Structure 1
Amino acid sequence: MANDPLKVIAGVDTHADTHHVAIISEHGKHIADQEFLAVGSGYRKICDFITQFGPVIGVGVEGTGSYGAELGRVLANEGLTVQEINRPNRQARRLRGKSDPLDAYQAAESVLAGRGTSTPKGKNGPVECLRVLRAARVSAMKARTIAVNQIKGILVSAPEPVRSKYRGMSTTQLVPALEHSRPAGTLTDPEYATAMVLKNLATRYRSLDREITQADDQLAEILALHAPMLCDLPGVGTEVASQLLVTMGDNPERIGNEAQFAALTGTAPIPASSGKTTRHRLSHGGDRAAKAAIHHVVVSRMASDQRTKDYIARRTEEGKTKKEIMRCLKRYVSREIYNQLTNPRPAPVITDLRPTRQQLGITLQTASGHFGTWPGTLSRIERGLSRDDALAHEYRTWLAEQNPVKDMS
């Protein structure tokens, strides 16, 4: 109809200091473009500029995880539909050239065409807190590794009086010994200078170690409030849980189903057949950190989870290789984690196991001997430090059988 208002689409090319905004109509006609400062007042002007031409269908923003993060939050708070724009097509860029206005118009055209776009992560909730805490923790871990490597490297060529004091010590023994050492001498003495540097490095190591421990405690506190049941899954600890939540973002509804989650975590199987060979491999796309987290879960379960061990034995008999079995396990783990994130279910209660055993006067050695396992394995299950639902169920059933029948006469 002639009186229908003009509907528009905006595209934003983001940079550290400025953002360039372009407006096109719903039919692809270029309407206007303008540059704004990447500051609070500039974001408000961008909102006014976008909405002055008519109803906004959507806004395509480059770099919603970096330069465009705050702009994306501001636009979303104004009720606008924000789309993350993927990297522009290089062939089209070579043909058309590159400039801020061209990139902004291309972002708007991507929204119009529905190609190369995705829903950006929300960065306004507890998951964003997890992300920044993890960033600090990762850098502290790298610095701690560098510090201990420097200590050991310096000790290799240190004067013999220094080397002899710390020869044969493990890292856990070496760091406290160096930290509490009291070097004496002058800076022109190599022995004193070496001992002083080693003490400083050990002090740095202990400081970083405390920083990592504090970050772990803070991550666990947020997880206990935001996703308390995620760590109930076997093999999922604070490190894995926090990474997978960061991968999903504060708006997990942007991931429509568990197949999309598998693609995001790099655990989706894709065909890799050729000729007479029919096989699959895992996708090389997705978040590499999330893929590493799921790999950690699989490795942990292969070592300690009885269900996983039984599955490996069965698939090995079918002729599957270890690599193929791990591929299947990663896909299963991603499905289980997605279901736990979207429909949390608590772990089975195990607090009754230890009191029941102690009431019956049964030792851990006796119980573990019946099941052919280590006493420490049952102890960890009783204390909730590890999870094996099948063994816990068998353990509870066996304890019930040991309970003497009371004479009701």
Structure 2
Amino acid sequence: MTIVAEHYDYVVGVDTHARTHTYTALAAGTGAVLDTAVFPTTTTGTTRAISWIRRRTTNGDVLAAVEGTSSYGARLTCALLAEDIPVAEVRPPNRNARAMHGKSDAIDAQAATRSVLGQEVGQLIEPRAAGARTALRVLLAARLLMDHQRTANRNALTALLRGIDLGIDARRPLKDAQIATIAAWRTVPHAQADVVVARAEAKRLAIAIRAGTEQLAANRTSLQTLAEELAPGLQETPGIGPVTAAIIVCAYSHHGRIRSEAAFAALAGVAPRPASSGNTTRHRLNRSGDRQLNRAFETIVRTRISFDPVTRDYVARARATGKSSREIRRNLKRYVARSVFRQLQAIMG
């Protein structure tokens, strides 16, 4: 395989921030620093930065190594790709590197450049594609916020009903029918001040809970539509619903971003890690990687265990050999990651 230093003539590293980006241009063959500059993140500043890149990298192929392509560097990434400048996503320097070389925007930009020089071109991390995938990420972030808010409102309502007797049995989790009843309450005349205030607050919380439920339902419908558009048939796989499908599609993004099913498993935090000692040979759960993607695979596995006959047969056989429930789920998540990756390669490749 060809490495970046052999394939490209120039590499431009970018350390991204909210207000400014710092750019460093290097000659790929020699590693010599050609120039460093800082430009604002405005549209005009990005245009000036691209012109600067063109002037510093004449008569040769150039690669941009950008930090934070999905956050501070998202707009810059789109602008570079629109100018036919390939972009590779790089991670910020770790603590050991900063302890050795120091910390500044120029140093980080140069580190971003040098971090890709020795990498194989086929193993570069490509930025996540925009369009419908960006819409999916926005919907998932919104869903997380709405779910947290609805849970907080439900907990607050339960606590209120347990603290003040308003005629609702709150010894157990509230049912939807009880919440609907509370949301339809009217003002009680000649009631004590604490009861009036408590009923008004309970009604407000109940209305907020019902609104949150409706918003989550609409969010789920949107996720289902977009996920099916990007990965047709993925939601027909046992255990995969609209939310888990959207998480998987966002993590996979597009063909070429993840080089192998092993890398996909590592990204999801489901690649087994050795935990052997002495006469004991075993593996443990991997707690690194994309935790949202890991939770999606956990949901898929638990769903399959509850209804899928093939999965339940495997669980029974594994338990007969002495495996624990956590070890069984780890094995199943690794299997699901492998099969889902191959499916994504087929339908999104």
Matched, 1:40 2:43: yes
Give the drift of 1:224.
2.8
Letter in 2 for 1:13: D
Amino acid at match of 1:112: L
Distance 1:188 1:100, change over 3 A: farther
Whole-angstrom distance in 1 between the partners of 2:276 and 2:21: 45
Which residue is equivalent to 1:20?
22
| 3-state SS of 1:73 partner | helix
State the one-letter code of the partner of 2:230: H
2:276 is the counterpart of 1:262: no
Describe the superposition over 1:374-403 as per-residue Cα deviations: whole angstroms up to 9, x where unpaired. Answer: xxxxxxxxxxxxxxxxxxxxxxxxxxxxxx
Residue 272 in 1 paired to residue 275 in 2? Answer: yes
Deviation at 1:306, TM superposition (A): 0.7
Pick which of 310-319 and 68-77 moved more: 310-319
| Alpha-carbon separation, structure 1, partners of 2:311 and 2:288 | 26
Mapping of residues 211-226 of structure 1, within 5 Å:
211-226=215-230
SS at match of 1:98: coil
Question: Hey, what's the Cα distance between the residues in 1 that align with 2:142 and 2:92?
Answer: 27
SS of equivalent residue, structure 1 residue 254: coil
Rate the CA distance shift 1:20–1:166 in 2: closer, same or farther, 3 A: same
Separation in 2 of the partners of 1:262 and 1:244?
A: 12
Distance 1:223 1:184, change over 3 A: same
Counterpart selection for 1:82 from 74, 87, 93? 87
State the distance in 2 between where 1:206 and 1:149 align: 14
Question: 1:185: Cα distance to partner?
Answer: 5.3
Separation (CA, whole Å) in 1 of partners of 2:301 and 2:189: 53
Q: Distance in 1 between matches of 2:255 and 2:288?
A: 19
Distance 2:128 2:224 in 1: 21
**Separation in 1 of the partners of 2:112 and 2:168?**
64
Q: Which stretch shows the higher mean deviation, 99-108 or 168-177? A: 168-177
Q: Which has the larger radius of gyration?
A: 1
2:214 to 187, 210, 213: 210
Q: Which fold has the larger relative contact order, with Cα–Cα distance below 8 Å and residues 6 or more apart in sequence?
A: 2
Deviation at 1:188, TM superposition (A): 8.6
Residues of 1 paired with 2:170 and 2:280: CA distance?
55
Asked whether the equivalents of residues 227 and 249 of structure 2 are also in contact (C-alpha less than 8 Å), the reply is: no
Matched residue, 2:179: 175
Q: In 2, are the aligned partners of 1:234 and 1:301 still within 8 Å (CA)?
A: yes
Q: Provide the aligned C-alpha RMSD in A.
A: 2.3
Provide the secondary structure at the position in 2 that maps to 1:52. helix
CA shift in 2, pair 1:134/1:186, >3 Å:
farther
Asked whether the 8 Å contact 1:50–1:56 carries over to 2, the reply is no
Would you say 1:57 and 2:50 are equivalent positions?
no
Aligned to 2:125: 119
| Residues 32 and 7 of structure 1: CA distance in aligned 2, closer, same or farther (over 3 Å) | same
User: What is the number of residues matched between the two proteins?
Assistant: 335
- Which residue number in structure 1 is paired with residue 96 of structure 2? 91
Bigger shift: 278-287 or 40-49?
Answer: 278-287
Question: In structure 1, what is the Cα distance between the partners aligned to 2:279 and 2:321?
Answer: 19
Q: Deviations over 1:335-368 (max 9, x none)?
A: 11112212249xxxxxxxxxxxxxxxxxxxxxxx
Q: CA–CA distance in 1 between the matches of 2:297 and 2:198? A: 43
Q: Identity of paired residues, percent? A: 33
Q: What is the alpha-carbon distance in structure 1 between the residues aligned to residue 226 and residue 73 of structure 2?
A: 26
Report the more deviating stretch, 70-79 or 15-24: 70-79
Measured after TM superposition, the shift of residue 79 of structure 1 is: 1.7
Whole-Å separation in 2 of the counterparts to 1:109 and 1:165: 65
What does the per-residue CA deviation read over 1:158-199, in whole Å, with 9 as the maximum and x for residues that have no partner? 2x3x2x255668331221111110124599911111111111
SS of the aligned residue for 2:185 comes to coil
Measured in 2, the distance between the counterparts of 1:176 and 1:219 equals 26
CA distance in 2, matches of 1:125, 1:76: 14
| Structure 1 CA distance for aligned equivalents of residues 70 and 200 of structure 2 | 43
Distance 2:219 2:250 in 1: 15
Match of 1:341 among 319, 339, 344: 344
Cα distance, 1:245 vs structure 2? 0.6
- Displacement of 1:232 after TM fit? 1.2
Aligned to 2:5: none
CA distance in 2, matches of 1:280, 1:168: 42
- Give the C-alpha shift of residue 226 in structure 1: 2.2
TM-score normalized by structure 2? 0.89
Question: Which range moved further: 281-290 or 201-210?
Answer: 281-290
Q: Which amino acid aligns with 1:61?
A: V
Distance in structure 1 (CA, Å) of the matches to 2:191 and 2:55? 70
- State the distance in 1 between where 2:107 and 2:191 align: 61
Q: 1:265: Cα distance to partner?
A: 1.1
